[in-house]
Structure 1
Amino acid sequence: MTSHSSALSLTSEETRDLATPAAYVDAVREGYRQRGEGAPAEPRTTLFNDDPTGMLTGYLAILPDTGAMGGYTYAAGFGQRDAHFALPIFDADSGEPLAVIDGAAMNPLKTGAAGAVGVDALARRDISDLAVIGSGSQARGQLLATATVRDFDRVEVYSPTSKHREAFAAEMNERLDATVAAVASSAAAIEGADAVVTATDASEPVFDGDLLEPGTHVTAMGSYHPEKRELDTTTIERAVYVPDLEARIDQDAGAFIAAREAGVVDDDHVHAELGDVVAGSAVGRSSPDDITVFDSGGTAIETVAAGKLLYDRAREAGLGTEIEFTPASAAFQAL
């Protein structure tokens, strides 16, 4: 008799309301703590296609204390000019499949959680003014998550299209206690800001690093291509620089690569990985005047942590569809 492993298939609709931004942040913070204590994780691998234009991306992580491991694979572009996300989750002890999750709905929330963990680990405790550059779904996820780790009085948002930033500000004014205002330039957003979050698809820097006041924290989450960067060389040079994974700096950390090519930093400028700071094996901010940068290009650390959170809550709620996997030993014997 062939044995099977049972896993849960979860749609975006089923996962959409399973966890709050704060719950995502807690799960992702725990994932980065494990990374800081040696949990394996690898940066993204991306394959590009010319005709039709598109890219296929994947990355992996094992989180032993979470009890889960897995990856994140997504196809973007190609014939549909859209993106589709798939997240397989396996048991970290047995290796048996736990879930296959449509990762689209969770994407801005798990990415926002990673950004918020960066803010929590590196920003001053007393910050009250946040600048957000970008007004799409990723900016929404960043702001909702970041607002759970600091009490902001005011948020200034800038994006190039006025109706987009104004709609974003109106929505977030309803959802947050802070006053959220749309402003006409990135410089206006950064003026007086204690922390800056960039959530764009920009290829060139979105603000002037000379404008950053001492003590400012910056989370950049839109740079994951060697020739794209949201931050200029001045920002990188001035900052205590913390990436999600150090292996990214040669691969797709575009802002760091550009600063290194300009000769203003070298590899020793990488202060520590975020996990090292979260785990307490490295100090993040050593002075109130430090400018800190968290370069969040995206890893499976936040993805697996969030996926396991959703799996556990779906089990509790009776959501999802059971699917079967045949262990390789049984399948091979049947040949």
Structure 2
Amino acid sequence: MSDTLFLTSEDVSGLASPEEYVEAVREGYRQRGEGAPAEPRTKLPNAEPPGMLTGYSAILPETGAMGGYMYASGFGAKDAWFVTPVFDAESGEPIALLDGASMNPFKTGATGAVGTDALAREDADTLGIVGSGSQARGQLRAIAAVRDLDTVRVYSPTKASRESFAAEMNEQLDASVAAVASSAAAIDDAGIVVTATTASDPVFDGEMLADGAHVTAMGQYHPEKRELDATTIERSTYVPDLRERVSQDAGSFIAAVEAGVVSEDHVHAELGEVVAGAAPGRETDEEVTVFDSGGTAIETVAAAHMLYEKAREEGLGSEISFAPASEALTGK
């Protein structure tokens, strides 16, 4: 039998700081850049009741962990459940099982911050955000850990939502956070732009991006939906989290290819290759960079293993037991 630590959403919530998430995720992507295996998500749709079963996995050999997400969304309850198994990369034994929903905005935000740190100008201190939900909050908190932000402007279609976001983040950050009335106002002269929406169509005009801007797009991973227009992709040094994912569900890039403004060769490098130093990141102050963050098991495993280690140190969680197949199948 193998004793496995089970961590509830309450155990995980508040267990680690944005800085700790960023460092864990950066290390995971460095290992990916040096050859660690990772696969893009697989999605199994269900017609009635409408829903989706999704999963993805990765192995981080130097961390000593492997695993990923499996989550169900929609179906009869019209909700989502995130299950995160973590295995020991040496023995293969399960070491942790997490209720993964609480860490989602933090590990996804950390991924955006790693992309920002690798690709944005070092002096970028103005951030424009399109979106005001939990993922936008996660992105802002994490990016504030890698850049000294002075001004943050947020836009979302619902005035009350963007104003609530600005009020909350003003209390948490040193930067001045203001709600604005349009996406154009949010991205105006911004050195960093984040899109964290459920939009199916582009949320700003790429011609309006300042020279030298960095864009992290993380709200869409569907071949027919896109947050960024073809102009943004055409102008950019384009970096995805996984190269294999691009033709599968990077809708903004797919649309730009279909429009004929770029080819598949426009993919500059994976984020891990830039983090590991195997490919250059930003090379000039004037270039526009894009990090297309659709979500991978790299950040999931990295963050989950970090939380597992912190939980053990703090005595959190409860133990459950798994029987190895050799025992379960033979009864010995």
Normalising by the smaller structure, the TM-score range is over 0.9
2:99 equivalent in structure 1? 102
Work out the CA distance in 1 between the residues paired with 2:136 and 2:129: 7
Pairing partner for 2:65 from 60, 65, 68? 68
Moved over 6 A (4+): none
SS of residue matched to 2:136: helix
1:33 equivalent in structure 2? 30
Letter in 1 for 2:53: L
Pairing partner for 2:328 from 325, 328, 331? 331
Work out the CA distance in 2 between the residues paired with 1:334 and 1:250: 46
Pairing partner for 2:254 from 254, 257, 276? 257
1:8 equivalent in structure 2? 5
Displacement, 1:316? 0.6
Pairing partner for 2:216 from 201, 205, 219? 219
Pairing partner for 1:18 from 15, 27, 51? 15
Letter in 2 for 1:160: P
Letter in 2 for 1:319: L
Pairing partner for 1:150 from 147, 150, 153? 147
1:128 equivalent in structure 2? 125
Letter in 1 for 2:284: S
Letter in 2 for 1:244: D
1:78 equivalent in structure 2? 75
Displacement, 1:303? 0.3
Work out the CA distance in 2 between the residues paired with 1:117 and 1:249: 19
Q: Is 1:318 equivalent to 2:315 in the alignment?
A: yes
2:188 equivalent in structure 1? 191
Displacement, 1:280? 0.3
Pairing partner for 2:271 from 274, 285, 291? 274
Work out the CA distance in 1 between the residues paired with 2:308 and 2:213: 36
1:297 equivalent in structure 2? 294
Q: Is 1:232 equivalent to 2:229 in the alignment?
A: yes
Displacement, 1:284? 0.8
1:36-94 per-residue CA deviation (whole Å, 9 max, x = no partner) reads 00000000001111211111110000001111000101111111111100000000111
1:242 equivalent in structure 2? 239
Work out the CA distance in 1 between the residues paired with 2:147 and 2:141: 11
Gaps of 5+ in 2: none
1:273-329 per-residue CA deviation (whole Å, 9 max, x = no partner) reads 000000000001011101000000000000000000110011011111100011111
Work out the CA distance in 2 between the residues paired with 1:152 and 1:282: 27
Identity over the aligned pairs, expressed in percent?
Answer: 70
Q: Is 1:163 equivalent to 2:170 in the alignment?
A: no
Q: Is 1:114 equivalent to 2:143 in the alignment?
A: no
- Taking structure 1 as the reference length, the TM-score comes to 0.98
Work out the CA distance in 1 between the residues paired with 2:44 and 2:208: 36
Work out the CA distance in 1 between the residues paired with 2:77 and 2:141: 29
Q: Is 1:45 equivalent to 2:42 in the alignment?
A: yes
Letter in 1 for 2:201: E
Letter in 2 for 1:333: T
SS of residue matched to 1:80: coil
- Taking structure 2 as the reference length, the TM-score comes to 0.99
Displacement, 1:266? 0.7
Q: Is 1:177 equivalent to 2:174 in the alignment?
A: yes
1:235-286 per-residue CA deviation (whole Å, 9 max, x = no partner) reads 0000000000000111000000000011111111000000000000000101
1:202-236 per-residue CA deviation (whole Å, 9 max, x = no partner) reads 10000000001110000000121101100000000
SS of residue matched to 2:40: strand
Displacement, 1:11? 0.4
Letter in 2 for 1:100: L
Letter in 2 for 1:250: S
Letter in 2 for 1:314: A
Displacement, 1:192? 1.6
| Count of paired positions | 332
SS of residue matched to 1:276: helix
Work out the CA distance in 1 between the residues paired with 2:151 and 2:211: 19
Supply the RMSD in Å over aligned alpha carbons.
0.7
Pairing partner for 1:283 from 280, 294, 298? 280
1:204 equivalent in structure 2? 201
